[in-house]
Amino acid sequence: MVERDQEIARLNRLLFEGAREGSRLAVISGAVTSGKTALLHNVTDTAGGRGVRVLPAVASISEQKFPYAVLEQLYQGMPAHLQLSRPRPGLDALRNPHGPDETDLPLLQDFHRTLDELTGDSPLLIAIDDVQFADLPSLRCLAYGIRRCRSEALSVVVSRGSLTGPAATALDELLHEPKVCHVRLAPLTVAGVSTLLTQELGTEEAGRHAAAYHEMTGGNLLLLRGLLDDRFSRLTRGPLDPAPGTDAPMAGELFRQAALSCVYRGGPAHRRVAHGVALLGDATSVPLLSKLIEVEERLVRQSVALLTEVGILHGGRFRSDAVRTVLLDDLELDELGPLHHRAARLLYEEGADPVDVARHLLSHEASEPVEEWITQALCDAAVHAIAADRRELAMNCLQMADRYSTDEREALQLQATMVQAMWPFNPLSQMRRLQSLAAPAGSGLLPAPQTIPVVIGLLGLGRMGEAAAALEQVSRAAAEDPGTDLETGLRAIRLALSSTYPDHPELRPFLDQEEPDAPWEGGPLSPGQSPESPQLTAFRALRTVLSRGVDERAVRAAERVLETVPLSDRTMLTVHAALQTLVYADRHATATSWCDRLIEETSERGAKALLAYFCVLRAQIALRVGRLRDTVRYAERALEELPARGWGVTVGMPLGMLINAHTAMGNHDAAAELLARPVPEEMYRNRFGLHYLYARARHQLATGRQHAALTDFRACGEKMAAWGLDSPATLTWRLGAAETWLTLGGQERAARLAEEQLELAGESSSRTRGAALRVLAATRPLNERTALLQQAVGVLQASGGWYEMARALADLAEAHKQLGDLDTSRLMTRRALRLADSCGAEELSRSLQRTPARSALSEAARTGEDTAAFSELSDAESRVAALAASGYTNREIAAKLYITISTVEQHLTRVYRKINISQRRELPASLDFDVAYTA
């Protein structure tokens, strides 16, 4: 009886207190399970305590068709002599000439006389629960007797639900009079729920969870009890000391059964409305709901209002998904399917969200014949699902549409759409479907827009002849309709072929049509010229960098594409091409930022293939800057996300990155294992195969197979020249060949190749130029070597080629050693060692650690000579000197020790004076070496 004090007080005043004229009548109403029965019992208990005779009755829908069923219950509470005059329902109904629902006048008069006699002896209270279910003859007797009984001793209180059905007119006659007192019970408020929970859970838990319990139940007592019973059931089965949060409301079986009870108590029509709302998901459209369940709108509105009042709905939606689920489960399967089909058709006709339409169609298989609109509805839903990245839903829609389709061309389009939708996520699952589309695409059965993705997939699988046949169909369609997106897509494919698949006779007709040079995006346009599409811009920029080397206009154009084009199924190749442009142009910082962002985005989406493509680009960036551990990490992740079979003829890229990195690290067994894996022969005829071929050559050179290495380096060069990709941005095959000739004693050939590479690299500070200077230095006499190596170190430091810089420093250390400058040699060795360790170049690091050069001053410091001079250094001076001796610059020392560069210079000046040296290179190597690594 929580929050019922005012109602109890009002009923008590009306029925049992104060002067009055005639009988009194009270009606307790409210939603299902609002506590009407409990309040009625409270009234009868109060009456019994005050000496009032109580005649109780409970009306039931199962007895509504039995005449005098309620009156029979009232007579059972009367004295024995009065029970003799009660009607006999079976016989009196049969004798009644007016029909079973009519009441004979003698029966009405007998009941009136009985009331007069009872009220003459003592106060009388008639209490009827669920009066809306009372049979009509009983209601008519009650109405007749109550209106004519003027005794002040008579009180009547009834509880009722909705006034619908056959008893509505008689109830209206009985209950809606001016003197009737109506008490309407509202659901519990949050405060009321809190009071109830306090009795069950205690004050603290009630305060914490009252709002959540109210949110799920709307204050409905039965639903609240269901939630609480579920909670106690969980705690009984669970640990004695429940984990935090287990006392929060969680819908269980008892709550669901309580919800079903609330719905069933409203009657069959009410139950059908609830089922319809569950099927649609909400009750926001009453006309739609009315058509679905074939119930008139007036009754639908009444039921929706009742479901809202009872706490099942709120704002037209279910307060708890568990209620919707149990209502759907309550429907029979033979009824659920037709309802879903009807809902889908009605939603489709109203132009609803295609995904909502598809949700109903996917819930059941339509029986034959299939209506024409179903396939179109499923296709529309698939398009929306793909745009929202709901791939599983899209595939379900497309697969069902494919099963229903009877048109061959339509079925092929559906298959092509499936491939395009799922390829970024799981290419392996779509390979067989893609292969089955090759012949239709080549014969023109597949529309041109759907043919382009098939062409791209066939190229990746190395099926060049089938790809060429399909491209021919696209070319014909584009020629018939120039200036469209189809023509733009075809031009982009031609650009991609020229930079990626240039070595295939089948594709040569598409390569022969050279793209004219055009202003880059953002440049001046000639009159009547429209801006170039991002797709063409990205592929043009990539081809420019690969064929001519770094071009600032191309780089800026690629950056603009990345800034303006979001990643999607339609733009993934465009974005990938723009990012490749930055990678090949050695824009490491920008490329890394974009790549990391795209890796995170594709990882969140679960697009495994796209994630693998961006991971291998990230590995390429790491290899070009000399971060060998990162190269291995990202390349291995690329092969984990997309196994080698899924890469097709492009597998040379991830394998090439891994082999190259392992070779540079000195992990030759790992590189050899990778090279032993079978690869498609077609791989060697595309740009990605060049990276594999180059990596294999590096491995052969590192493991002493110079002639095999030279063969592979030459093959790289020949292919790159034949394909028009022989630029420093692609691969530095000349330097690899030059290093090989050096090991074979071919100094002149090595010098010529290094000079060619240096000339191609130009004057800008690039990783390629620095590496070329390093190789060229190895071909020069010792007295010329240091200057070239110092220049190489400067260029590599400016361009960020850390592994190459470590090699250059190692060569410089060796050159100084051969010249007898052991202190400088050791300083360069330390710098090279530090870089090699940070890059992960373990083999280079091991070779540097074996360098034995030590100066006399270093030996003196190590053996304790002149220890007095070193002891004069302060802690700050010792730290600065140790870092300087380890090869750190003044700026780096300042950053590590959080001091200014000027302070570093002052410390070094005092150090030089105290230990009697004149320059940095004379700093002893043993000067508290640990300080350099702990500073």
Sheet with 24-30: strands ordered across? 53-58, 124-129, 154-160, 24-30, 181-185
pLDDT at residue 155 tops 80: yes
Which one of 28-42, 50-64, 588-602, 902-916 scores highest in mean pLDDT?
588-602
Q: Which of 92-101, 153-162, 631-640, 698-707 has the lowest mean pLDDT?
A: 92-101
Q: pLDDT digit string (tens) for 278-309?
A: 999 999 899 999 999 999 999 899 899 989 98
Helix axes 408-422, 448-461, angle to 10 degrees: 50
Residue 869 identity (one-letter amino acid): A
Residue 814 has pLDDT above 50, yes or no: yes
pLDDT for the residue 66: 85
Q: Is residue 270 very low, low, confident or very high in pLDDT (cuts 50, 70, 90)?
A: confident
With cut-offs at 50, 70 and 90, classify the pLDDT of residue 928: very low
* Lowest mean pLDDT segment, chosen from 362-366, 453-457, 737-741, 851-855: 851-855
Architecture of domain 5-186: 3-Layer(aba) Sandwich (3.40)
**What token pair was written down for 125?**
């209270």
Report the b/e string of 771-780 with b at 16+ CB within 10 A. Answer: bbbbbbbbbb
Question: Distance between CA atoms of 647 and 653, rounded to whole angstroms?
Answer: 9
97's tokens: 């000439």
Name the more confident of 734 and 530: 734
Q: What percent of the chain has pLDDT over 70?
A: 89
Q: Which helix (H) or strand (E) holds 671?
A: helix 668-675
Closest of 683, 687, 792 to residue 729, by C-alpha: 687
The whole-number pLDDT of residue 152 equals 82
Query: What is the domain partition of the chain in residue ranges?
Result: 5-186, 191-404, 863-935
Long-range pairs of 52-56 with CB within 8 A, sequence gap ≥ 24: 52/16, 52/122, 52/123, 52/124, 52/125, 52/155, 53/77, 53/118, 53/122, 53/123, 53/124, 53/125, 54/125, 54/127, 55/124, 55/125, 55/126, 55/127, 56/127, 56/128, 56/129
Confidence of residue 172 (pLDDT cuts 50, 70, 90): confident
Asked whether the predicted pLDDT for residue 889 surpasses 90, the reply is no
Predicted local distance difference test score (pLDDT) of residue 654? 97
Mean pLDDT of 814-831: 90
| Residue 854 near residue 826 (C-beta atoms within 8 A) | yes
Band of residue 54 on the pLDDT scale cut at 50, 70, 90: very high
356, 252 contact by CB (below 8 A)? no
Tell me the two tokens of residue 598.
Answer: 């795209």
Mean of per-residue pLDDT scores for the chain: 86
The pLDDT tens digits of the residues spanning 335-373 come to 888 899 999 999 999 999 999 999 999 988 766 667 888
**Least confident segment among 90-99, 383-392, 480-489, 738-747:** 90-99
In terms of CATH architecture, what is 863-935? Orthogonal Bundle (1.10)
> Measuring CA to CA, how many Å separate 228 from each of 1, 299, 877?
17, 33, 73
CA distance 343 to 328: 14
Using alpha carbons, list the distances in angstroms from residue 275 to 133, 264, 358, 362, 632.
Answer: 23, 11, 19, 18, 57
